[in-house]
Structure 1
């Protein structure tokens, strides 16, 4: 009988351990790669645009220097994260980081475009730098104009991201206005810098 009781107690203890969930097991990691620029396949996820498509004079190119792999299909879910980080090496210019989300904020009835959110990124000249942008600092924009500084992004349905040169003159950065530009991107990560509630 004592052997049966020991076996029963061990079985109950094992069942309790199996049924007990641990919050840490359910919590996503504190950071995840969104893009890791280390393969030609990764590069295919990005589209290259310049103002030459609209009658402008600029040109741009996109190259990859290393090899590796990283896959993405569908939405990028950043719901569990509060900051976007990127490791960049630039030319002293200011760039614009854009996050496109599935359209749930409409400025025009029947609008089918994705929502865009923008923040500025400074890329120090000739040195690798990790820049961190809290998601709440991204401002909702439509056709280059701020929609509302009070509007919040829906980070669970990111459909695309973009980086573009800020060609406007800006006294706050060493190089601004028209001219050549170069930005190298090592990786883009989503970070959780605060505890989930």
Structure 2
């Protein structure tokens, strides 16, 4: 009898909760913080990558720093087009770095949102990150790839920000050399 009673009590509790919901409980907020770069704990959620994994000589770091405008995440490093001698990888050029979030516990549901916003201060280079969820662009090694993939905003596994020595928008700084971007936060927005 106690098993039946436990099931009955769980059902009763769920019914009470459903009857006390307010409309605002059913509508998600218009914005949702995904990452807030204001503590060293935030860094544990990210993994750095670069062409050095394939024989390139680029390097990157991610730190929390007081930038004079508050505590921010600082993604910085050096882009190099050179390739190390004797690399086991058959690459002829390099020049990319990035930061990728570690996988969420399962996934993050962003179905109620239509945009990813980043508050950052750049250095004149083009940084690649997917912003409008409806126009998701897959990237690999700092470049947008032409692939027929569809984004499922209710099952987002991770996010990334990358920089490439070549390419970018007209007028952007390109070529080898240092890069630096200060990141305040990343959040999801609902515009409608």
Q: TM-score, normalised by structure 2?
A: 0.63
> How do 1:1-197 residues align onto structure 2 when only pairs under 5 Å count?
19=19, 22-65=22-65, 66=71, 73-97=105-129, 119=130, 133-140=131-138, 145-148=145-148, 151-170=149-168, 172-194=170-192
SS of the counterpart of 1:64? strand
Structure 2 CA distance, aligned partners of 1:159 and 1:171? Answer: 27
**How many angstroms does 1:178 deviate by?**
2.0
Change (3 A) 1:23 1:175: same
**How many angstroms does 1:171 deviate by?**
6.0
Structure 1 CA distance, aligned partners of 2:21 and 2:128? Answer: 42
**Which is worse superposed, 168-177 or 41-50?**
168-177
CA deviation vs aligned residue, 1:107-156 (integer Å, no higher than 9, x gap): xxxxxxxxxxxx4xxxxxxxxxxxxx3211222457753112xx431011
Structure 1 CA distance, aligned partners of 2:169 and 2:138? Answer: 24
**CA RMSD, 1 decimal:** 2.4
Q: Quick check: which has more Rg, 1 or 2?
A: 1
Structure 1 CA distance, aligned partners of 2:167 and 2:190? Answer: 34
SS of the counterpart of 2:25? helix
SS of the counterpart of 1:188? strand
Change (3 A) 1:25 1:44: same
Q: Where does structure 2 lack aligned partners over 5 or more consecutive residues?
A: 1-17, 66-70, 73-103
**How many angstroms does 1:23 deviate by?**
3.2
Structure 1 CA distance, aligned partners of 2:50 and 2:167? Answer: 18
SS of the counterpart of 1:41? helix
Q: TM-score, normalised by structure 1?
A: 0.62
Structure 2 CA distance, aligned partners of 1:47 and 1:146? Answer: 24
Please state which structure has a larger fraction of its residues in strand: 2
Detail structure 1 runs of 4+ shifted over 3 Å in the superposition. Answer: 18-23, 140-144
Alignment length (residue pairs): 137
**How many angstroms does 1:181 deviate by?**
0.7
